Amino acid sequence: MSSILISITKKLNNMTENKVTSIHEARVIFDLLGIKDVTKDWQSKKGTQVFELPFKTMYYNGSAEINRFSIYKNGYVRKMVVHPDTNGSRSCYQLNKQYRTKEKWWNSHYKEYQTWNRLKRIMIDNHEDRVIYLCNYILKNYYRNSKYSLVGDYTRLRVGEIHGKFWRSQRQDEQLPFEQNNEPKSVQVIIDGHRYNLN
């Protein structure tokens, strides 16, 4: 088995256990899960990057919502609320972690400063860290969540395609003058506790 295929298999197995720690791992997982970069030119010029999951969230009333996320150069990571008819973003909500802070303000009625607790977002300063944060958020809330069984046919198909491409490229490189067993070895991948054999 090639080192690429071993690496892919390990990544899929670790998805249910470990956090993503590098942008390379995040990109591999995005590719394997079919998470697309759907950034438009005008968004890219502003330093924004937009990703979309390959499935919609279904609600009890039968409506479906596109799962779209964006990262901004100012440090925000957001989940977009997409209009079902126009496919445009209606609003968004913040995904950055929060912290509590006390702030003072002048109360003119009592003629004194008063303090109040306020929640603030923690900005993520560099692009790579924002992508890694988003990848971990998506894995935690959409793929590791026990309410969903979302790693399904698409993921198994993608892993099979990558394995098939590797096998075909290996066969072209060998060009041996005698006949040998051309059957590929079976590869096992475990996704969400289910074992799949890839031939």
Domain spans in the chain, listed from the N-terminal domain onward: 3-96+122-198
Q: Check residue 9 and give its pLDDT.
A: 55
pLDDT tens, residue order, the chain (199 aa) = 456 555 655 555 555 467 899 999 999 999 988 999 999 999 999 999 999 998 887 766 667 788 999 999 999 999 998 887 788 888 888 999 999 988 888 888 888 888 888 888 999 999 999 999 999 999 988 887 655 444 445 555 666 676 667 666 665 555 544 445 555 566 666 777 767 676 6
Over residues 75-87, the pLDDT tens digits come to 999 999 888 778 8
Q: Check residue 150 and give its pLDDT.
A: 45
Indicate the residue type of 67. Answer: N
Q: Check residue 179 and give its pLDDT.
A: 47
Q: The whole model's pTM is what?
A: 0.63
Q: Which two tokens stand for residue 29?
A: 């997982």
Q: Check residue 149 and give its pLDDT.
A: 44
Q: Check residue 48 and give its pLDDT.
A: 94
Q: Check residue 176 and give its pLDDT.
A: 47
Taking CA atoms, 28 is separated from 7, 43, 53, 73, 159, in Å, by 10, 23, 14, 22, 11
Helix residue ranges, H only, 64-186: 127-138, 153-174
Q: Check residue 177 and give its pLDDT.
A: 47
Q: How far apart are CA 65 and CA 81, in angstroms?
A: 8
Q: Under a CB-based contact definition with an 8 Å cutoff, are residues 11 and 28 in contact?
A: yes
